[in-house]
Chain A
Amino acid sequence: MRVPTYQSQTELTGKISAQPFSVRADPSAASQTARAFSGLGGEVQKQGIDFYQRLLSEQRDTDLKNAQIDYEQELGNMKLASLNASPSVIMGKGPKGFEAQAAALQDTIINGGTRNGKKYTGISDSVVQKRFKLAASDAASNALITVKQQARNRQIDAAAATQLRYAEHLERQATTGNGPDRQKARDELFGIINKETGKPGLSLFAKMAARGLISPQSAVQLETKSRSTIARYDVEERLILADDAQSTTYTARLLEGLEDNKQYQGLDPLTRLAYKQQTVNLQQAIEAKQISDRESAERRSITQGNEDRKENQRKLLAEIFENKNALQRAVTAGGPIPQAISPTRISDDLKRGKISLEFAKYADNLLSNLDAPEDVVGVVTDFTDRIITATTDKQLDDVRKSILESTGRTGTVTLNTAESLLRLINGQENNTQEALDFKEYRRLLSQVVAKTDSSGFLNLGDLDGESAARALDAQQTYFKLTTATFDSKGGAITPMAPEQAFNQIKKQFEQAQEYKLPFLFSNPTVGRYFGYTNLETRKAFFERLTTEKFEEVRRLIKNNNAVAQIEKPFELETVDLLQSEHRAFLARQAEKAKSETD
């Protein structure tokens, strides 16, 4: 029998209680806080450094800039002041020298102190000090160069200016001096020409260039300019001479010289051309002036001749009328008969040109009493119009000639009227107050009696025959009243003032207009004698008149001493005209009665 035995069932385990740990500490993770702390510190340091750098940099920049501004400002003042100081002092090494002053200024700005009233606080930062010294040295060096250059330039300019003034003096001497002086000045300016080589020596300008006062290029330019100046002076002197002498010979000679390129060598082609043109212009101007002078002299001679002739004519006319007056007085008063003016004198004066042909004829007519039968009113009025509207002497001369040609036996203007018209022309020529008054009231009268055109001429075209005749009569009456010095029988009378004549004629014209008369109805004399009233009609007025009444009025006018002598002929003429008009009225009335009977 098999004996059972116990067999252990459990095997020994291969495992142990302990297990390898997989846990690991991460050093990086573990040190995060410290790293962050370190990072914070680093950032703070970085920012601090950054700020510190910026602030310090800015502060230093500001300090440096301030110091530089102060320095350069003061340096600028010093530069400005150096312009008025002596160049040798400024350029020197002494305490007043620019360099020493700049160094002293630099020290003052760095260490602080007062300079020219300005206080400097100094620079404490050594870095700023160094930088400022560097910048200041730079600025001072540049300024020193400028100042020295300016001082040197001033020295050169002063010397050059003296030389250039001397050159100008020599240029004038070379043009205006006498022969030897001119040559000496030219030699000095442009160098003495070597007789053997023919080459010129050193000019004044070349010497200046050699001394460093001007550049060689400027020397050449100045020499050319100087030659040009001398040539210009020369030409202009000749132009002035020609102008002063008004000599075309001089201008011709100058023009010949300008045409020759060997003369006036300093002139450039354009200037030479301009001078040629100027010379030609002067020559033409001189020639034109000579022609003009000749023509002017001729004109003056003609004008003078005309004036003389007019004066002679005036005198002769006065003499003739005086002679006639004297003759009249002698006849009236019975005195000695004056010697009449001889027609031979008239012809002699004409031959000598002392009087015109027209005047000679007129004077001859006067002496011979060869008068026109009567004045043609329209012609006289036309002459009057032309006289008062004339604006030139020639127009007056033309009217004078026409008047003189209108006299004589077959003429349209009587001798007395012609004399009045001639006197009116003289008054116009001399612009006398009487002439001015005549003109003014004549113009007013024209406006009253008829329309006038823009020139002041009577415009009768629109008037009927009666009105035109009345207007012309008014004009004629005005002319006679204001200009006549002789009555129809040759007696001397005094002309009426234009204003008085105008007022009188105006009234007469208005009355004549009322009675429809083609002539002026005189007032008050004739009207009073005929006893008319303003209320009476033309028919009633004419029916009252008789032939006896006309004769009575004529007698009354002649014997009335209150009526001026000059008015009497007109009053009598009016009575004649009135009687003529009365006859016409009666004829028309008779014709009317006959036709009614038939």
Chain B
Amino acid sequence: MAFIAPAVTAIKAAAPMISLGATVLGAATQATGQVAQGNTQQAAYNFNADINERNAQVAEQQADQLVRREEQKIVDFQKDFRKFSDAQSQAFRYNGWIASEGTPLKVALASAQEAEEEIATRRYNAKVSAGQLEENATQERMQADLNRMYGKSASRAGKVDAGTSLLGAAADVARIRMFA
């Protein structure tokens, strides 16, 4: 057991260097962790940006579909109105009226005017709704841009934090060596 005392002495003598090594290792680990944290956060932000991009495309498709559907509805309306107009003319004629002149004409024209207004309103409403969806798409794209920017920032922050940690550790060691 005579080796214990010299071993204890040697450990005591080496203890500052061991703790210094632990400090360096810790600092390196912390820096690596901070870089990894930045990268991971960037990846997450990029993922979110991709989601935003896709959502923007979805909103654009929805706007396009909305317009298509409304045009389809207008075509259907026009079909319905033609049927109505025919029925109206038929009614006038049945009642002995000449459908293409006088009051029946005026009424037909007024109805046609109403139909035109109806189609214009429908197209306006569809355009407004499509515009809202396109606005959504734009917002999603902007969010995607922001997320990518956040990702880059997080990556840079990780590197900067790593540098800060390494510099801090070095400064601490230097301070301790100078003032401890």
Bitwise, A43-80 to B at CB < 8 A (1) or not (0) is: 11111110111011101100000000000000000000
B30 near A12 (CB under 8 angstroms)? Answer: no
Residues of B within 8 A of A23 (CB): 51
Interface residues of A in 257-294 (CB under 8 A from B): none
B40 near A14 (CB under 8 angstroms)? Answer: no
B30 near A41 (CB under 8 angstroms)? Answer: yes
Partner of B25, one of A14, A39, A44, A51: A44
A24 on interface, CB distance cutoff 8 Å? yes
Please give the number of chain A residues whose Cβ is less than 8 angstroms from any Cβ of chain B in the complex: 44
Partner of A56, one of B16, B45, B59, B140: B16
Residues of B within 8 A of A49 (CB): 19, 23, 169, 172-173, 176
B29 near A41 (CB under 8 angstroms)? Answer: yes
Nearest chain B CB to A40 CB, angstrom units: 6
B16 near A127 (CB under 8 angstroms)? Answer: no
Whose C-beta in chain A lies nearest to the C-beta of B76?
A: A11
A27 near B26 (CB under 8 angstroms)? Answer: no
The CA-CA distance from A36 to B25 in the complex, in Å, is: 15
A47 near B26 (CB under 8 angstroms)? Answer: yes
Which range holds the interface residue count of chain B?
35 or more
A6 on interface, CB distance cutoff 8 Å? no
B33 near A39 (CB under 8 angstroms)? Answer: yes
B44 near A26 (CB under 8 angstroms)? Answer: yes
The CA-CA distance from A53 to B179 in the complex, in Å, is: 9
A15 on interface, CB distance cutoff 8 Å? yes
Question: How many A-B Cβ pairs are below 8 Å?
Answer: 170
A41 near B55 (CB under 8 angstroms)? Answer: no
Partner of A41, one of B16, B32, B62: B32
The CA-CA distance from A46 to B21 in the complex, in Å, is: 12
Residues of A within 8 A of B73 (CB): 11-12
Majority SS at the chain A contact face: helix
Whose C-beta in chain A lies nearest to the C-beta of B25?
A: A44
Nearest chain B CB to A17 CB, angstrom units: 8
Residues of B within 8 A of A430 (CB): none
**From A18, A27, A56, residue with most partner B Cβ within 10 Å:** A27
A562 on interface, CB distance cutoff 8 Å? no
Nearest chain B CB to A56 CB, angstrom units: 4
Residues of B within 8 A of A56 (CB): 16, 176-177, 180
The CA-CA distance from A82 to B112 in the complex, in Å, is: 131
B residues engaging A (CB < 8 A)? 15-16, 19-45, 47-48, 51, 54-55, 57-59, 61-62, 65-66, 68-69, 72-73, 76, 136, 140, 150-151, 154, 158, 161, 165, 169, 172-173, 176-180
- 4 tightest CB-CB pairs across the interface, nearest first? A38-B33, A41-B29, A44-B26, A45-B26
- 15 A/B residue pairs, CB under 8 Å, sorted by A: A16-B61, A18-B61, A27-B41, A30-B40, A35-B37, A41-B27, A41-B28, A43-B26, A48-B19, A48-B21, A48-B24, A49-B19, A51-B15, A56-B176, A56-B180
